[in-house]
Amino acid sequence: MENSSDSFNKIILTGANGQLGTDIRLICEAKNDERFIFTDIAELDITNHESVRKFFSLHNPDLVVNCAAYTAVDKAEEEVEKAFLLNSEAPKILATEAKKTGAKLIHVSTDYVFNGKNYIPYNEETQTSPNSAYGKSKLEGEKNALETGISMVIRTSWLYSPHGNNFMKTIIKKGKELPQLNVVFDQIGTPTLAKDLATAIIEIINQGKGSFQNEVFHFSNEGVCSWYDFAKEIVQQLAINCKINAILSNEYPTAAVRPPYSVLDKTKVKKAYGIEIPHWRESLCSCIKEINL
C-alpha cells in the first residue's frame, strides 16, 4: 500500500448486502481492513440527495465504491423509473457529492451496455448500444458518474457468488429438483466470480490515489462460454444428476433482450493495475468448494 497521504483511508461502500458488497466486506474482515463504512438501504438511501449529502458531510470519505444497483433485468422493462432511479440518478448523486468532499468514485457497471452483435471481445472504446431498459439505465449511470471527472467505471459480466440470487445458485437448486433443465447456448459471455472482482477492486484501491484513473475499465474472469456450458460445468462439478439441454434464446423468451455476445476485453485493467485474472472454470471450482465447506 502507498503512504497514508496517497492512500484511500476512508471509504464508503454502497450495496453492502449484494453479491459484490458482501465479498468486499468478507475480504476486509479477513484482513482487518477497517477503512470501509459498509452501507445498504437501511443505512443510506442513495436515491435521496439530501441523505447522501448529510452522510458524506458526516463521514468525509476520500473514496466511494458504488456496488448498489437495480439488477432485475426483465422486471426493469416494466419498472423503468425504478431502474433509472437506482442505476442512473443514484450514481449522479454519489458522484456529485463525492466531488464536493474531494473524494473519488468507483462505480460498477455491466456488459449489458453493449448490444451483443460483436464477434470479438468488447474493449472500453467499443460503441455502446444497450438493448434493454436495464442496459440503458446502467449506461446513463456510467455517463452521469464520468461527467464529474472523479469516477472510475468498472464493467463486469455474469456475476455470481455463494451469496444472493444468481444463475449458479438457480442451476444448483433446480438441478437437484428436476431431471433435466433447458439452458440457452446462443448467448456467449464470461461468468465472473464476485470474489475475484472484489479482490481486483481492493487491489485498485490499494494502489492509491496516484494510480486512480477516471476512466472505464472492463473486468470479468478469463475464458468464454455460453450459459449452457456454464450450467453443464456447475452440475458436473457438483455431481448433480440433471441433464442440461441446449436450446436457442427464441425457445426461452424473456421480457428483456440479452446481448447474444458480451465477452469483455480485460487488457486495459491488467496493464494499468497489474491484475491477474483467473479462468472462469477455476473460479467456479473454488466457489463450489466454498459452498460445500
Q: What is the CATH number of the domain that holds 80?
A: 3.40.50.720
Within a domain: residue 293? no
Query: What total number of domains does the chain contain?
Result: 1
Within a domain: residue 56? yes
Position 2 scores a pLDDT of 42
**Residue in this structure with the C-alpha cell 497514508, named with its chain if needed:** 4
d(CA 158, CA 189): 8
Within a domain: residue 150? yes
Catalytic center residues: 134
Position 4 scores a pLDDT of 66
Within a domain: residue 33? yes
Per-residue pLDDT tens listing for the chain (293 residues): 444 679 999 999 999 999 999 999 999 999 999 999 999 999 999 999 999 999 999 999 999 999 999 999 999 999 999 999 999 999 999 999 999 999 999 999 999 999 999 999 999 999 999 999 999 999 999 999 999 999 999 999 999 999 989 999 999 999 999 999 999 999 999 999 999 999 999 999 999 999 999 999 999 999 999 999 999 999 999 999 999 999 999 998 899 999 999 999 999 999 999 999 999 999 999 999 988 75
d(CA 4, CA 210): 12
Within a domain: residue 273? yes
Position 1 scores a pLDDT of 41
Within a domain: residue 268? yes
Within a domain: residue 228? no
Position 5 scores a pLDDT of 76
Within a domain: residue 170? no
Residue 212: domain span: 4-165+191-222+262-278
Contact in structure between 188 and 226 (CB atoms under 8 Å): yes
